[in-house]
Structure 1
Amino acid sequence: MERVSTRRWYDRIDDTVILGALPFRSITPKLLEEENVRGVVSMNEDFELRYWVTSKEEWEKCGVKFLQLSTTDIFETPCQEKLQRGVQFIQSFEGTGHSVYVHCKAGRTRSATLVGCYLMQRYQWTPQKTVDLLRQKRPHILLHYAQWEALHTYFNKNVAAALESGDPPVIGSSPG
């Protein structure tokens, strides 16, 4: 028996973030017009962005800010410095009415790790609560031990103290 599955190319996670696969040129108009994307974070290496994908220059011509945080697929997780840079980039769009498209090749592992860190920071969630929401919004995310470890490290360095002090989340309401 053959398994049939339908995976969406991208999924809205909250009012700021869309998590997805490579943004092929064919979907760029939809991202700009329907999703109001004005920021893109690519977790891809240069060679993954060579063909069919909207380039940094093309994004910038459309008025979209672009940040590349090159991370090797499958064998690596983004380092903490890249995760912090990515979260700060995404945070710069909070409350603006604009969206940030965060992607890797399939929108399952590298980009999901960054989006998880952003969600923990914004909503002061634990890694488990964050991944539960991500799986609800994008069921085919794939986090291995290294990605879980990165989420826990980010949480411990950036979120845990705020949770212990009872400080409220910075902006917005929960996307749940």
Structure 2
Amino acid sequence: MNEEYETRFLCNSSKEWKKLGVEQLRLSTVDMTGIPTLANLQKGVQFVLKYQSLGQSVYVHCKAGRSRSATMVAAYLIQMYNWSPEEAVTAITKIRSHIYIRPGQMEILKEFHREIITEAAKDETSYITDMKHVD
């Protein structure tokens, strides 16, 4: 979730991480006022789910670990557990009490949640339709 200027002098480059066997996904979001795009939330969640399915851990971070990374983790929890944005943020807050999801970030989480619900409804409808054609 960091922007390039935030990590230029602080950590390994993508090439250096790759040499160490670490795959990195950068989803730049402006610090303090930035709101991740719906597409970036989806990319980030799919990245986490991919490595989770392989039995691996994923480290999600931004510079302070208060807003941008917490927003991404909330999106993952929404996808994984079908939680509401409020439930996801509450769960994260119990573990990291200093997180701060800004109003715009909460709105994109609500949009992400609506997308998840819409997709689930489509999948359920397709399943029911498919089952009717089995007979």
Task: Please state which band the TM-score falls in when normalised by the shorter chain.
Answer: 0.7 to 0.9
Q: Count residues with an aligned counterpart.
A: 124
Distance, in Å, in 2 between the alignment partners of 1:141 and 1:79 is 19
- What CA deviation, in whole Å up to 9, does each residue of 1:41-81 have, x standing for no partner? xx011100111213211211111111110111111110101
Letter in 2 for 1:129: E
Pick the aligned partner of 2:64 from 106, 127, 147. Answer: 106
Q: Which residue of structure 2 lines up, in the alignment, with residue 133 of structure 1? A: 91
Structure 2 residue matching 1:65: 3-state secondary structure: coil
The CA deviation at 1:93 is 1.1
The CA deviation at 1:161 is 5.5
- Could you tell me which runs of 5 or more consecutive residues in structure 2 were left unpaired when the two chains were aligned: 125-135
| TM-score (normalizing by structure 1) | 0.65
The CA deviation at 1:160 is 5.7
Q: Work out whether residues 120 and 130 of structure 1, in 8 Å CA contact, stay in contact via their aligned partners in 2.
A: yes
Pick the aligned partner of 2:25 from 67, 71, 82. Answer: 67
The CA deviation at 1:138 is 1.1
- Could you tell me which runs of 5 or more consecutive residues in structure 1 were left unpaired when the two chains were aligned: 1-42, 167-176
Q: Work out whether residues 121 and 159 of structure 1, in 8 Å CA contact, stay in contact via their aligned partners in 2.
A: no
Greater strand proportion: 1
| TM-score (normalizing by structure 2) | 0.84
Greater helix proportion: 2
Seq. identity, % = 43
The CA deviation at 1:97 is 2.4
- What CA deviation, in whole Å up to 9, does each residue of 1:97-150 have, x standing for no partner? 211011111111011111100110011111111111000111111111011101
When the two chains are superposed, the root-mean-square deviation of aligned CA atoms in Å is: 1.9
Q: Which residue of structure 1 lines up, in the alignment, with residue 4 of structure 2? A: 46
Q: Which residue of structure 1 lines up, in the alignment, with residue 129 of structure 2? A: none
